Chain A
Amino acid sequence: MSSKPLKQIHLAAHFPGVNNTTVWSDPDAGSHIDFDSFIHFAQTAERAKFDFLFLAEGLRLREQGGRIHDLDVVGRPDTFTVLTALAAVTERLGLTGTINSTFNEPYEVARQFATLDHLSEGRAAWNVVTSWDAFTGENFRRGGFLPREDRYSRAQEFLATAHELFDSWDGTAIAADAGSGTFLRDARAGTFAHRGRHFDIEGRFNVPRSPQGRPVIFQAGDSEEGREFAAAGADAIFGRYGTLEAGREFYADVKGRLAAHGRTHDRLKILPAATFVLGDTDAEARETAHEVRRLQVSGQTAIKYLEHVWNRDLSAYDPDGPLPAIDPEPGENTIALGRASVRQFRDPLATARRWRELAGAKNLSIRELVIATTAEQTFVGSAATIAGAINDLVQADAADGFILVPHITPGGLDGFADSVVPLLQERGVFRAEYEGSTLRDHLGLAAPAPAPAPAPR
């Protein structure tokens, strides 16, 4: 018998947003904009003692074939604003938001995160992303002129600069001593100067050090540079894999990189996104899961998805008929704009060939092919089955936990909170109560190194 102690599972919830996994046509689907939906979702996550709630971001409405995409949920709130409002209706739940480093400036973003951390008493986290296209840039002063390699170097310098700003105040800078009249103990608090390739800025940061010192830093991405970036400085990474083999490989690779950066194994949490379909029995859950997949991939959605690969207008094709005989349009993908998924298809000709073979072998229509090749639900089954599967993956070092994405807004987490979480608690692998008050506490992360003394000028 193994004497290895049981790992504690980390769980988080992603508010379902603008993608075709959200089944808006379900009679139980509510608003994805009304604040009541966010309150319900966040309070359910907190009732279940989750580590945090996660909000994604996109800075331009998606377009396909030159028109705004209209089949999935469209529209979402501003990340910072809704997370800060949620701080008022929750007490412990971490608040994680995606904020783009291409179309923002470090001074402004650093003060927004420091503010969120103050106003939530230490629950802020930042998922740092770069933008992928000039299409999004058309909404901003900067435009879309950053070449791909510069986006990543800007992201790295952006994060480093934000850290300099967070660290420009130490936790003792404010005396607020009315008697002696000393408000600022350190008269030079907030002093910073950063000169780099992307940013040449200096002055005084104007938000005092926040409860967590710095927000928790998340990194997404599976590329070599993404893994290195996360290993070097992130607190958590969105894993890509919810399966045992691929998950273990990713986990071992990323955790193996930490030592080279002087970091211990537990300084970086690996949290893949995961979907789930819960039923009273495994059979019932499988049936529901099949139905959910049909709802997620309508005939029109399947055609739109195929266009990502073919890079052509396929609206004349029958989704219940065979795949197009014509080949994908070569070159840069111009049909789908504002879509991250397009990047998955780096070799459209090969993808089309593979799909034709698969469809031929199994006699699949376009819609059936898309259902078969896009992500299945990660966890399907009864509460006991799902609790077991999650625990097995975590104990086997395929992940440190999961970020759950329900397919229904805002009630999609309710059943999980009521039935799966208690089973994990019974097994002693998930907290019954919050032990600390900050997100760093929940994730078992150490406080960031104390801010260094202000740099001499």
Chain B
Amino acid sequence: MSDSSTPPAPLHLAVSLDGAGRHPAAWREPGARPAELFTARYWAGLATEAETGLLDFITFEDGLALQSSLPEAFDERPDRVRGRLDAVLTAARVAPLTRHIGLVPAVTATHTEPFHISKAVATLDHVSRGRAGLRVQVSGLPHEARHFGRRTVPLADTELYAEAADHVEVIRRLWDSWEDDAEIRDVATGRFVDRDKLHHIDFEGRHFSVRGPSITPRPPQGQPVVSASGAGEASYALVARSTDVGYVAAHDGDRTRAAVAAIRRAREATGLTADPLHLFGELTVFLDEDAPAAGARLERLDALAGLPHGADAGVFTGSPGQLADLLLERREAGLSGFLLHPGVIAHDLPAITRSLVPELQRRGVFRREYEADTLRGLLGLHRPGSRYARRAA
């Protein structure tokens, strides 16, 4: 009998969905259905599979440029998946077909209007009844900027992240701009809303100003879950100040610990430490019955792609049991969950839901049924009140 009376903290688990999978040759694998990548059927199937595994949420990756293997330009490679549907709308399309799983689309703050993003994610929260989030990202790609034509010179990294932080601030204020009980339908006085519970947000920043209030009433979660990747110093302030969930690379224990520590320090500097901040480790995974089989599969995929994906430090190859070991070990770096990128969705997503999840359940660190109806509930986050609501005297 163990002398420890506290059960291990539950692990949170999410998967990142992009095309046929993280590996560039994933679309050529059996079951990948590459001709269906732009259909609702494909995305509904993936969301349903992830929900079968009781995962906390799925992210829908996106960008405002055609995918490229070159950093600063378009490649013209015919052997890669090219083209992507809008992530917010893909999430909205699967929302009515799922019931519990969180839906977290990627959104590029750099070229979009926070007013539009705020109401879109609020509406995703309404149509999913409290399961919406977003994954904020920035873009310094010059060719992506040319799709908008508004900026001739891309912003420097620190400026990009500062703008994204303002973007999130506007989004969050707009979510709060309607108090929860603003709609009163008071027939006696003929008033549909109590306008004292609707608020101008009057945001003034370096790149934009927004007056508000939102056109969309406050979403069911109050504040949908904001997430972003912490990849490098410039991004840590955004993760620390603006998010509920941050993602850090999780393959290398020391580096993961260093990133977690840097973000935690930045969080303390913001004075927001009363609100929990989840940090999730990010890993690309290739799961098979044992490490040699997974390694062989990755080698075969690398050969098809003509370049070694396995050199990437964020890649795991092995069995579900070995991955469970790694997740529990890596958690010690200060992580509360993981965002897994299936190397090949057709193969590795079901391996996560049908092998890894049962393994984690056996170890007592993963849920056996959904314990909440909202994404904030699944993540153990309280539902915040509107910042504009008058405090009771």
Q: Chain A residues in contact with chain B, CB under 8 A?
A: 24-25, 33-35, 38-39, 58-61, 67-68, 70-78, 80-82, 84-85, 87-89, 103-105, 107-108, 111-112, 114-116, 118-121, 138-141, 169, 174-176, 178, 181-185, 187-190, 199-208, 298, 300-301
Contacts and interface: CB of A to CB of B under 8 A. Distances in A.
B126 A115 contact: no
Interface string B79-108: 111111110111011111100000000000
B389 interface: no
Given A78-B116, A181-B79, A201 B65 contact: no
B127 interface: yes
Contacts of A76: 215-216
Given A178-B34, A201-B147, A204-B74, A78 B216 contact: yes
B83 A207 contact: yes
19 contacts: A24-B185, A25-B185, A39-B96, A70-B192, A72-B192, A74-B198, A75-B217, A76-B216, A81-B92, A81-B120, A82-B126, A118-B85, A138-B209, A141-B113, A174-B35, A176-B34, A178-B34, A204-B74, A206-B63
Given A68-B198, A203-B66, 18 more contacts: A58-B215, A61-B198, A78-B116, A82-B92, A118-B85, A119-B85, A119-B90, A121-B40, A138-B211, A139-B211, A183-B82, A184-B82, A187-B77, A188-B76, A206-B63, A207-B83, A298-B190, A300-B190
Contact of A88 (B32, B95, B146): B95
A181 B29 CA distance: 11
Contacts of B365: none
B212 A190 contact: no
A181 B123 CA distance: 39
Contact of B215 (A60, A80, A87, A138): A60
A41 B260 CA distance: 48
A88 B39 CA distance: 12
A35 B34 contact: no
A115 B92 CA distance: 11
Interface string B55-87: 000000001111100000010111111111110
Nearest to B306: A181
Given A35-B96, A176-B27, A183 B34 contact: yes
Q: Which 5 A-B pairs have the closest CB atoms?
A: A176-B34, A81-B123, A138-B211, A78-B123, A204-B66
Contact of B193 (A39, A68, A175, A202): A68
Contacts of B74: 203-204
B239 to A, nearest CB: 24
B126 A108 contact: no
B124 interface: yes
Interface of B: 27-29, 32, 34-35, 37-40, 43-44, 63-67, 74, 76-86, 88-90, 92-97, 111-113, 115-116, 119-120, 122-124, 126-127, 129, 143-144, 146-150, 178, 183, 185, 187, 190-195, 198, 207-213, 215-217, 304
Nearest to B98: A88
A244 B94 CA distance: 44
A103 B114 CA distance: 12
Nearest to A208: B83
B195 A112 contact: no
- Between A25, A111, A116, A183, the greatest number of chain B beta carbons within 10 A of the residue's beta carbon is seen for A183
B163 to A, nearest CB: 10
Contacts of A178: 27-29, 32, 34
Contact of B123 (A25, A82, A185, A301): A82
Interface of A is mostly: loop
Contacts of B65: 203-204, 206
B76 A201 contact: no
B217 A112 contact: no
A70 B96 contact: no
B115 A71 contact: no
A74 B177 CA distance: 13
B130 to A, nearest CB: 11
Contacts of A138: 209-211
A206 B83 contact: yes
A59 B93 contact: no
Nearest to B118: A78
A115 B86 contact: yes
Given A183-B79, A185-B78, A203 B147 contact: yes
A84 B96 CA distance: 10
B64 A108 contact: yes
Nearest to A108: B112
A4 to B, nearest CB: 41
